[in-house]
Structure formats: C-alpha cells, structure tokens
A and B are shown apart, each in its own frame.
Chain A
Amino acid sequence: MNNLKLRLAKEKRFQLYGILSITLALTLLSVLFISIFSQGYTAFQETKIQLNINFEQNILDPKKTRDWDVIKKSNFNILIRNSLQELFPDVSDRNEKRKLKKIISTSGEYQLRNYIRNNIESIGTSKKIWLLADDDVDMLIKGHINRILPEEERRIDNTELAWIEILETKKLIKKFFNKTFFTSGDSAESEQSGILGALIGSLFAIGITLIISFPIGIATAIYLEEFAPKNNKFIDFVEVNINNLAAVPSIIFGLLGLAIFLNFFEMPRSAPLVGGMVLSLMTLPTIIISSRVSIKAVPPSIKEGALGVGASEIQAVFHHVVPVAVPGMLTGTIIGMARALGESAPLLVIGMVAFIVDIPQSVTDPATALPIQIYLWADTPERGFAERTSAAIIVLLIFLILMNSLAVYLRQRFEKDIN
C-alpha cells in the first residue's frame, strides 16, 4: 500500500496525543503545586521586632502588691509606646506616634502581659523582647510589598519605611519560625491568625467519622460478603443503594445533616459532632466498597480450612477471614478518612463556616475545619491571608499525603499477606 507512510505518521501522531495529554495533566499538577508552595512557604516565618521594654513599677504595679489581678489590668500598650519613643526620639507628632505604634501587632500588649505573668519578678527592670510585627511590616520584610513602588501604591508609606529601615540597620527586626500559625485560632489580624482551631475542629470531626463509619462499614462489608443470602431482592437493593450513595454529591449529605440532625434532632450548629456524623455517612460507601474488595481477595481456602475442622460460620469469618483482610480494610478506611478530611461542602451547609477565634475544647463546641478555614481565608483580600491560605493548604496536603502513604503501605502488606 502506498499510504503506509501515512498510516505510520498517523500512528506517530496518535502516540503523540497520548504523551501530550499526560504531560498536560502532569504540568497542570506541577503548576498547582508550585503556585501554592511559592505563595505559601513564606507564611512559615513571622516577622518580629525587638524592643527594649522597661517594665516600670509605677505603670504596672504602683502599690507593689505583686498581685496578678492588679497587674493584669494595667496598660501594657504604654510600655510599647515608651519603648518606641526611646528608639525614635524625634517622632513627636501625635498622629506620627500612633502610626509608629502600628508597626507592632495589636497582640503586643497580650504578649507583654503573658511575659509578666510568667516572670513577675521582671517588674521594675527592662528587658529586650521580640514583639510580633504588624502584617504590613511582615509583608514588606518578606518582600511581598515592593519598596521601589511609588508611595501611594504601597501599603507602607515613606515614614514607616524609613523607620523599618532604621530597625533593619540596627538588626532589631528579624524573621522567626512562625509559631503563631500553629498555636492560635483564627483572627481578624492576619499576623495573629493560625490554623490550630481549624485543625482541632477537623481532627474532632474525623475522629467522630472514624468511630461511626469504621465499625458500621466493616460490619456491612462482612455481612454482604459472607452472610448475605445470594439472589435476594433485599440484599440487591442494599447493594444498589451503597453504589448510588458513593456517587451522590457531597453537598446533598449536608442537606441531610441540616434537615435531620440540626432541624429534627436539634443538635448544636457548627459542631464537629454533627460535621463528623455527616462526613461518616459520606465515607461509609467508600469503606464498605473497599472492605468488600479486600474480604473477597482473601483466598477461600482459609475459610474452608476453618470450617473443615469444625468452626462455626461466624468463627471461621471472624477468626480467620477478617484478620487477613484487616490491612486491606484499613487501606479503604484511611482513604475514606483522607477524603473526609479534605471535604468542605457539607460542612458549609451545617454551619461549620464561621469566624471562630477560640480553640474548640469538645466535639460540641462551635468549630471550623481546615478546608473551611482555607475557604474563609481565600475570600479575604489581604495579602497576609493569601499567604496563610497557601500555608494552610500545604499543611492539609501534608496530612493527606501522610494518610495516603500509610494506605499504600498497608495495601502492599495486604497484597503480600494474601499471596
């Protein structure tokens, strides 16, 4: 055939399409990761400013009571203002002074109060203390605000810039590892906000999900694989239901939670308890389906051997089949949990989306979850929150990668066991 060349060219082209689509998919994946990491890694550092704070006796404790209840009511902001005044003696205008105070985060006074609480003997002395800088200063130091831009296009004006540059030459401004990000809840100020509250909320919810869906899912899988009568209309209906539930949009489960758990049973809104219950309904099909696969993969000879030496049906299943299948079941469960951890739509519907500063103490406290915190921060225009959004995503992805690698490890062990 004279068109053999043409056909071979077609063959080449077809292969090329395949390679192209894979590269495209992988490029998109890497663009996603690179864009998030390049935006987020700076959030793991925070900028602090060192001030020489003079804990004056007559401001903190004029009567020398050394009584914490008296001290804690005193104005710690004055200490910061005095120290800044010492550092920049030529700032005299009232507005200028206020502006100068603003380079320190509003959490500065709480930081000092905590310091005194732990070191009550420092009253009357002066100490060098690193205080959290304001988010605009933080952004400048991290290079997210361009110093060369004209003044009106910057969030930091020339006077502030001059102060910061003085601090820089005196080496009084420095970046530290961002502890705040991992130890505090949400906040209106980006430099004071952290993911701990959301993380705890997520862990509570996932814990509830695990407690509910793991035993029920496994029991269902065992029943359907080992005990259910074959060719039974009811069992077929159960199976159709499970397969359908696996593909129901997650937000529908949120509607179920809202109508039944919140409206009918009057459970608390925004609570990880309800969130976990909704997520467990969602992950149940995943756990059931994968557990069934792993039970099916156990060689029938194991069960037959047990039955042959006189074990009852239940003994054969629970003593011999299930132990072999457990790593496989765990794989499915962990994958289901990882999905639940990243899920946010149903949680939005049951009200786990709110500005919550406090760290939740129990499963009925109002809380958000990590993905929801990401969603909330992504909505905030400030540059400081954009950085923290990416950082929170990095933390979430790290959790998911850990869970998935555990699942892969267990799957490999399971495959080794049954072969």
Chain B
Amino acid sequence: MSITSILLILGLFGISGYYAGLRKSLIIRKNKKLHSSPIYHGALLAINSSLSSVIFIILWLIIEKNVYAGLEYFRNILYLVSIIIFFIVSLITFKKIKHDFKARDSLEKIVQYFLLGCSTLAILITIGIFLSVIFESHKFFSIIPITEFLFGTHWSPQMPIREDQAGSAGAFGAIPLFTGTFLIAFISMCIAGPIGLMSAIYLSEYASKKIRSIVKPLTEILAGIPTVVYGFFAVVVVAPFIRNAGSNFGIEIASESALAAGLVMGIMIIPFVSSISDDVINAVPQNLKNGSLGVGATKSETIKKVIIPAALPGIIGGLLLAVSRAIGETMIVVMAAGMSANLTANPFEAVTTVTVQIVVLLVGDQEFDSPKTLAAFALGLVLFIITLMLNYLALHIVRKYREQYE
C-alpha cells in the first residue's frame, strides 16, 4: 500500500462520511427545524475527519524525513492509525449533529482558515527564496571571502579538475559581472526610456481614440513576446546588423556585443515603460492641464512644464521598475551577450551579466559542495537584494504619488 492509495481510501471514506452526516441531519429535520441545512452537516463531517487524518499523515512523514528515518518500517501502523483517527473524529462529529448544531458556522471557519493559509503562501515563498539563496551563499562565503567576491575584478569560475593543476584556482571577483549587467541595463534604458515615455505621452495626450485603440494592443503584443524570442532576434538579426554597420564605419564590434543585447532588451522594455507612464500621466488631474492651457500655453509646453513635473515621481518609479526588470532579464543576455567576463564600459565589446553567469554555472552537473555551484547562489543573492531594493523603492514612490492625487 502506498500513500496515494491511503489518501484515495480516505477520500472514499470522506464521501461516505458526507452521506452519513447528510442522512442523520435529514432524519432530524423531519421533526425539528435545523440550524444549518443538511449538506453543511455532511460536508463538515467529511472534511473534519479526513482533514485530521491527512494532517496526521503529513506530520508522520515530516518526522520520518527529518527526525527519525526508522519510522519508514512502521508505515502500516501509519495507515492503520490514520484510518482509526478518521473514524474517531467522524464519530465525534456524527454525535454532535443535532437540530441546534451550528455546522455551517464551523464549516465557514474552516474555509476562512483555508483562505488565510493560502494567502500566507506569498510570505512562505519569499522566505523560501531568502533561505535558499542565503543558505547556499553562506557556504560559498565560507570558501571565498565576501570581500573578494564583491570587490574582486577577475572572474573565471572554472575550478581545477585535479588538486595539483597549476594556475587555474578559479577566481570569483564579481565586479566585471556587475559592470556588464549595468552596462546592458543602461543601454536598454537609453532605448526604452525615451521611446516608451514619448509614445505614452503621444498616446495619452495627442492620439485620437481610434489610433489609441489600435496602437495600444499592438504595443501590448510586444510585451507578451517571450524573452527567448527576443534573444533569437538579437542573435539572428540585430547582432549581425550592428556588426555590419560597425564595419562600414570602421568600428570593430564583437559578434556578442553589449550593444546588441542592450538594444533588444530595450525593445522588450518599451511597452513596460509606456504602460506605466501612460497610467501615471492619466492620473494627473485635468484641472492642472486646463489651467496651463487656459493661460495660453501650447500643448507641448503644458506637457513639458506641467504634466511631466506633476507625474515625475510616478515616471521615475516606473523607470526604476524597468531597470529592475532589465537587471533580472536572463534569456536575451544568455543568448546575445556572451560568457567572457570583461571589465569594460565599451558597448561594442562582449560583456557578461549576473544572470548569464548564474545560468552558465548551473547548467550541467551541479555539486552542492563546489564553489562553482554555490557561486550561482551568491550571485542570485546579490541579484535578489538589488531588485528587491529597486522594487521596494519604485513601489513606494508610485504609491506616494498616487496618494497625492487621490
């Protein structure tokens, strides 16, 4: 017998428990008015009893896995006890079923607790992320000092295969990765910032309703394209195009240049910037605009001198969110940016990013005691902290801005 089959049996018992409860309350209803309708009695009986056995099984399994593995030999006892628990609980609940038994209230309590439990999952996920990256990073930092990781300028994570192999001890200075990440994010924001902002302004202030209804869904398509498609686009179309253009002007551009990756990432972020800016600009009160137009300002002057200053906090918040997305974006850079860790600010050279290195370090065999695998978690920790701060800041600014006009 396995866990699945015992769960199946408990399910069947639960269904019969439902009918037992239903029957009893129906019989009671013939003589007296019930507090709750019969289905609540049945459902409560079924849920109460199967829930308590399931909780027992889960507790048992947790103990077996983490405390005392020997319990595995007593699985039959587990099955027996869980069924006994089922019957005891259902008997108790069955006894309770009377005309004034508040079955509905009890059931609704259970439902509410279930809903509450689901909502705490978000916290559990955050804790899970924190624990997993911090735990493995801690192991990493006990091998490689944190200062060397954060301030070292040489990155070559290949560990020697043999102990005595000369000259390849593996270096974990992450500065080139940080500069590469920020270089690409910077290029992408140079593209997405102006284009996204200007198209949002045009769409919300100038465009007719008809144009708006056509263009907006089209830009939303840009937002829905998977990043792997952008990566392919970068490799097949943009990178060769840039290289040819560069060689026409006598500039040598690497085939995996930061420019190509940044450009395509910029295209990806345009709809993100434009939809946030659009929301923010629309939230500026009409009175402000009317005031400016009323004293004779042109539309563009109103936009530049009134709307944008008023919307500035929101726009900055949106741009920060976009930066956070650019930093955390993986597939485009994995495909288009290259693996070599160059410490450079030249957009024509190949650079690598934090996310690329996480993928490079983790694809293939993973050993949880080698610094190579653990380094990925340390990079993940840095990435998580940076994006968390950016997100928090951005959401805070945006919320403050909304409150100002509400």
- Spell out A's residues near B (CB within 8 Å): 7-8, 10-11, 14-15, 17-22, 24-26, 28-29, 31-32, 35-36, 39, 215-216, 219-220, 222-224, 227-228, 237-238, 241-245, 247-256, 258-260, 263, 281, 284-285, 288, 312-314, 338-339, 341-345, 348-349, 351, 353, 371-372, 374-375, 378-379, 386, 389-390, 393, 396-397, 400, 404
Q: Tell me if A220 and B229 are in contact (CB < 8 A).
A: no
Closest chain A residue to B127, Cβ basis: A241
28 interchain pairs, CB-CB under 8 A: A11-B298, A11-B299, A14-B303, A18-B201, A18-B203, A22-B215, A25-B199, A28-B222, A32-B225, A32-B230, A35-B236, A36-B232, A247-B321, A249-B387, A251-B383, A256-B132, A259-B136, A263-B368, A288-B122, A342-B226, A343-B226, A348-B330, A348-B362, A349-B359, A371-B226, A375-B331, A375-B334, A393-B232
Knowing A223-B115, A345-B330, the reply to whether A258 touches B366 (Cβ < 8 A) is yes
A258 CA to B376 CA in the complex, in Å? 11
Q: Tell me if A21 and B395 are in contact (CB < 8 A).
A: no
Select which of B120, B199, B233, B392 is within 8 A of A35 by beta carbon.
B233
- Spell out B's residues near A (CB within 8 Å): 104, 108, 111-112, 114-116, 118-123, 125-126, 128-129, 131-133, 135-136, 194-196, 198-199, 201-203, 206, 215, 218-219, 221-222, 224-233, 235-237, 267, 270-271, 274, 298-301, 303-304, 321, 324-325, 327-331, 334-335, 355, 358-359, 362-363, 366, 368, 376-377, 380, 383-384, 387-388, 391-392, 394-395
- Measured between beta carbons, the chain A residues less than 8 angstroms from B116 are 223, 227
Select which of A241, A254, A349 is within 8 A of B122 by beta carbon.
A241
Q: Tell me if B236 and A284 are in contact (CB < 8 A).
A: no
Smallest distance from the beta carbon of B219 to chain A beta carbons, Å?
Answer: 6
Closest chain B residue to A350, Cβ basis: B362
Smallest distance from the beta carbon of B332 to chain A beta carbons, Å?
Answer: 10
Q: Given contacts A238-B122, A256-B132, could you give 13 more A-B pairs where the C-beta distance is less than 8 Å?
A: A22-B203, A216-B118, A220-B122, A223-B112, A223-B116, A241-B126, A250-B330, A251-B355, A259-B132, A342-B224, A389-B232, A393-B229, A400-B224
Q: Tell me if A397 and B359 are in contact (CB < 8 A).
A: no
- Measured between beta carbons, the chain B residues less than 8 angstroms from A263 are 368
The secondary-structure label for the interface of chain B is helix
Q: Tell me if B115 and A256 are in contact (CB < 8 A).
A: no
- Measured between beta carbons, the chain A residues less than 8 angstroms from B358 are 251, 255, 349
- Measured between beta carbons, the chain A residues less than 8 angstroms from B377 are 255, 259
Q: Tell me if B229 and A397 are in contact (CB < 8 A).
A: yes
Smallest distance from the beta carbon of A155 to chain B beta carbons, Å?
Answer: 19
Q: Tell me if B395 and A243 are in contact (CB < 8 A).
A: yes
- Measured between beta carbons, the chain B residues less than 8 angstroms from A313 are 108
A251 CA to B324 CA in the complex, in Å? 13
Smallest distance from the beta carbon of B204 to chain A beta carbons, Å?
Answer: 10
- Measured between beta carbons, the chain B residues less than 8 angstroms from A31 are 237
- Measured between beta carbons, the chain B residues less than 8 angstroms from A215 are 118
